[in-house]
Amino acid sequence: MMVGGLFASLGMILASFSTSIIHIYLSVGVVTGLGLALNFQPSLIMLNRYFSEKRPLANGLSAAGSPVALCCLSPLGQLLQDQYGWRGGFFIMGGILLNCCVCGALMKPLGAPKAPESKDPERDVKDEAAGDTERPKATLLDFSVFRDRGFLIYAAAASIMVLGLFVPPVFMVSYAKELGNGDTKSALLLSILGFIDIFARPACGVVAGLRWVRPRCVYLFSFAMLFNGITDLVGSQVGGSGWWRVV
């Protein structure tokens, strides 16, 4: 995570010196994107290490941090652009992303339980020697998961889902501007979306942790994705004009 924080910050700082849109694509899209990816996956792994019974709720509370940032960063980004320009805004955002390094430093892994001391050291040596001969070789990549049909279906569905999951938030502000709304009012839409998400994600974690729901979390996830897609389709076809059409 600390390396990811450095990459994310470096990409934003490099973007502040960009002279073309290609430079921004490479710095923000590639460098910062790689850094944020290095932050996201370890955070999920650490949650699984710390929580077992309350894991759905922990995931929900952790995921609520993203909409909090969305609520704050949308008006903050508009403010930075108005006060310091887009170059200064990128540079300041690079400094803010350095906090990812601090978060990574706080994620201390749990120590493995100590094995009880044995009274027969010779037997321990023989057991270790036998274990060394029977222990399978560790590999960098494990492709055995691709033998599971359920995993293949889930991976394909998740890949298709990601293609459209982040499109509405990206184009929502531009869509609101095309309908005749001002910059500040259009940016407020992302804050509204983030504010609702703050309460929705922990609530979903509580529901997913219920005894009769937890074994069927895949159905809850499928319903959420279906509902998300339907609302996006309906929102793009709704009649009328003005800000309420975007909402």
- pLDDT at residue number 199: 82
- pLDDT at residue number 138: 60
The domains of the chain are located at: 2-108+146-246
Give start and end residues of each alpha helix (H) in the chain: 2-15, 21-24, 33-50, 55-63, 65-97, 99-106, 121-134, 149-165, 167-178, 183-208, 217-237, 243-246
- pLDDT at residue number 127: 52
Question: How far is residue 146's CA from residue 21's CA, in Å, rounded to a whole number?
Answer: 38
Average pLDDT for runs of 10 along the chain of length 247: 89 90 90 87 78 76 75 78 87 90 79 54 52 57 78 80 76 78 76 79 80 80 81 68 50
Q: What is the CA radius of gyration of the chain?
A: 23
Question: 3-class DSSP state for residue 65?
Answer: helix
- The CA-atom distances, in angstroms, between 227 and each of 47, 107, 146, 213 are 27, 35, 29, 18
- pLDDT at residue number 17: 92
Whether pTM exceeds 0.75: no
- pLDDT at residue number 140: 62
Contacts of 145 (CB under 8 A, 6+ apart): 151
- pLDDT at residue number 154: 78
- pLDDT at residue number 105: 83
- pLDDT at residue number 122: 54
Give, rounded to a whole angstrom, the gap between the first and last alpha carbons of the chain. Answer: 35
- pLDDT at residue number 115: 55
